[in-house]
Amino acid sequence: MYRKFISTALCLMLVLVFSVGVLAEKITVWTWYDGLLGQVFKQLVKDDFEAKTGIQVDLQTVPIADMTSKLLLSVIGGDAPDVVELYSNQIVELGVRGALLNLNGLPNLNKTLDQMHPGLMRQLTYKNATFALPGEANWTWTYYRSDILKDIGTEVPKTWDELKTLSTKLKARKMDIYYDYQGDPATRSTGRFLPFVFQRGTDIYTADGTASNLDNPAVIDAFKEFVSLFKDYKFPIEDPGYQTFTDGATPIQIYQNWYYSVYERAAPQIAGKWDIAEMPGTKRKDGTIDRTNTGKMLTWAVTANTKKKDAAWKFMQWAVSPEFTAKFSKLTYDSPEKWRLFFSTKDAIEKSGFPAEQMDVARKALATCQMQRAVVGGYVADRYIDFAFNSVVLQNANPEDAIKKAANDSTKEIQKKLKEFSKLIAKL
């Protein structure tokens, strides 16, 4: 009887230990991938990550528009996910507030970061802290109707000056050029403005991240050229995009790379009549053309209060690995929706299945993509650039006065946030 009791007790203990172990190896992941992309992602998580690691994943789809507010509420309420997928411009603001884990010190972090293009990490780090890993990357390049440019007898513009000249020719034929940046409407002008700044070798914030650099002479010059496209050359501020590219009304469009799938899939009638090129650039004193572009990313982060850090970190490393991104790219393109996804690793382009004849443009665009450097308070400070743009283009304000006012207002916002979060920043 005694032996039977001991045996039963041991069995129950083993079952309990096993159950606790299994529970400890189940993580919750919030992703924005939905619809067909979500189905492909979920299947890869099950067949690849879970099968190889034994870690179970509770994958929950959260709309990207609700992600930040929902995450902050969940962190406060103590029921946050272990891993969350966020846009890159949200990372440092959330990290400094204590919502995201500083990844420094985790196993193989440097090895993982070495796989990424360095220009992409600027938006995910602050001081000595690293708050996320880059996943899907969106850079900016030029789409052009090769058939229309051939009829006009011109080539795709390499510089902003060439773009302005072409704009005059197109307007004479009742056609135009559209330049947009897909992102938060409140910071849309910042995204369009940054390439002009980066191509001059400067930035919109000071090197120490404590103030605006918008009153720097080089940045003022960049702003004047940027707004001249809309004020002097009358580039449309809004445009249907897909429709006008298809019918030829705006045969030059500067958009992010994900739009490639839209034209490819939804406009078969112009197949073979359009192509891509690097973003227009700024000619330097040595005669070279700087064609630095910018964009945004989807990123993976571990929440600060997770109790399953090791399992969450394994998932993140898998989600940015060349093996996963190559599979995801292939499966999404082979799907009925034929999405072409681009990722942040250095060899992602080679494994993307992108057309060979356009591969060189894709390589150069990714290599010259520079994400906006994160500063505390930058998310709000960026909006002053949009205010400056609107005041010049819509209200005929003086460009230099407008951008200097934006510099002053941005610095005040940054200084306010630095003071507000000084104790948290000191811990980084």
pLDDT digits (tens, 9 = 90+) for 215-236: 999 999 999 999 999 999 999 9
DSSP state of 46: I
pLDDT score recorded for residue 139: 95
Architecture of domain 138-206+215-294+372-376: 3-Layer(aba) Sandwich (3.40)
pLDDT score recorded for residue 21: 45
Whether residue 100 contacts residue 59, with contact meaning beta carbons closer than 8 Å, is answered with: no
DSSP state of 216: S
Task: Determine how β-strand 295-302 pairs with β-strand 83-87.
Answer: antiparallel
pLDDT score recorded for residue 326: 92
* DSSP state string for 300-321: EEEBTT-S-HHHHHHHHHHHTS
Task: Report the alpha-carbon distance of residue 165 to residue 155 in Å, rounded.
Answer: 11
Residue 59, beta-bridge partner list: 29
Number of H-type helices and E-type strands within the chain: 19, 12
CATH of 26-137+296-362, one of 3.40.50.2300, 2.60.120.10, 3.30.465.10, 3.40.190.10: 3.40.190.10
* DSSP state string for 270-285: GTTSEEEEPPPBEE-T
Question: What ranges do the domains of the chain cover?
Answer: 26-137+296-362, 138-206+215-294+372-376
pLDDT score recorded for residue 3: 46
143 sits in which H/E element: strand 133-145
Distances (CA, A) of 246 to 80, 148, 178, 221, 279: 44, 11, 13, 34, 20
pLDDT score recorded for residue 15: 47
Rg (CA), the chain: 24
Residue 342 sits at φ, ψ, to 5 deg, of -125, 140
Nearest-10 Cα torsion for 235, 238, 243, 246: 20
Task: Report the alpha-carbon distance of residue 9 to residue 219 in Å, rounded.
Answer: 74
The list of the chain residues with pLDDT below 50 reads 1-6, 8-10, 14-24
pLDDT score recorded for residue 9: 46
pLDDT score recorded for residue 6: 46
Task: Determine how β-strand 274-277 pairs with β-strand 133-145.
Answer: antiparallel
Whether the domain at 26-137+296-362 and the domain at 138-206+215-294+372-376 fall into the same CATH topology: yes
Give which of 404, 419, 410, 402 is closest to 383, Cα–Cα. Answer: 410
